[in-house]
Amino acid sequence: MIVAAFLALAIAGALGAIAAAAFGAPPSAFGGALALMFAGFAGAASAAAIALHAPGDLTEPRVARGPTHARPLPAEVELTRPVFGRLWLAAGGAFALLGLVPLIALARKPGRASRTGWGAGVRLVDENGVPIPHDRLAAGGIETVFPQGAVDIPEAPAVLIRGDDGGYRAFSKVCTHAGCPVALYRHASHQLICPCHQSIFDVNDGAKNISGPAPRPLPGLALGIDAEGFFIARGDFDAPVGPDDWDRVL
């Protein structure tokens, strides 16, 4: 029975590791499931070895001739040979299924594990958690904003900018080059500038990268206004935040 319990643990661990790979769980979850599987195998092998071990004082009488018969399993094992064999086969099969993990990783669409805190209907707030009214900024004004209730998420900060036409735009504040905060705004040329390596983004053209090492535009945040006149997001950023190799899930 102990062997069966350990084999069940091994099977559960292997299937858990496959599920973790399939659903993009953190590496710690994948590693934990693998550890459970190997612990199950080790425990099952040890318990089986103990159960099958002949007592030290067991002596087998010699027979002059004729076939010998396999010694039955000790009673405490409480498993028939076919069930015992099937359990080992199932555990081995679950272990073999782990070979699918690289294929699962190849089949899954690349994405990001992290969350930004933005979503449809989430209010924009300042660093003190105060919601932003629709008339907060003058033309050319800029303010750092956060999703309400998620000010501390590193990938959450966005810059809210009001153009000469009175319209507002919002973009991720995290530079797509190396993750510095894009903190400088030159209203005359409607450019956001990253102070780390001088990447420049054109606010009037979707924060497109027009100069410097940044490889792609700043992700945009679609805006709306709720019934009380405060800014809300209409969804998450339209692209992954930050450098391309930042927290990427393969």
Interface residues toward ligand FES, by CB under 6 A: 175, 177-178, 180, 194, 196-197, 199, 212-214
Residue 65 in contact with residue 40, Cβ under 8 Å? no
Angle, helices 2-22 vs 81-97, to 10°: value is 20
Nearest residue (CB) to ligand FES, 182 versus 221: 182
Nearest residue (CB) to ligand FES, 207 versus 214: 214
CB of 187 to ligand FES, least distance (A): 20
CB of 235 to ligand FES, least distance (A): 25
Sign of CA dihedral 140, 141, 147, 151: positive
CB of 109 to ligand FES, least distance (A): 26
The 3-state secondary structure of 192-211 reads EECCCCCCEEEHHHCCEEEE
Alpha-carbon span 152 to 32, nearest angstrom:
28
Nearest residue (CB) to ligand FES, 133 versus 195: 195
Nearest residue (CB) to ligand FES, 9 versus 194: 194
Q: What are the angstrom distances between the C-alpha of 102 and each of 27, 65, 99, 108, 195? A: 14, 55, 7, 10, 40
CB of 114 to ligand FES, least distance (A): 18
CB of 237 to ligand FES, least distance (A): 17
Alpha-carbon span 116 to 241, nearest angstrom:
8
Nearest residue (CB) to ligand FES, 116 versus 172: 172
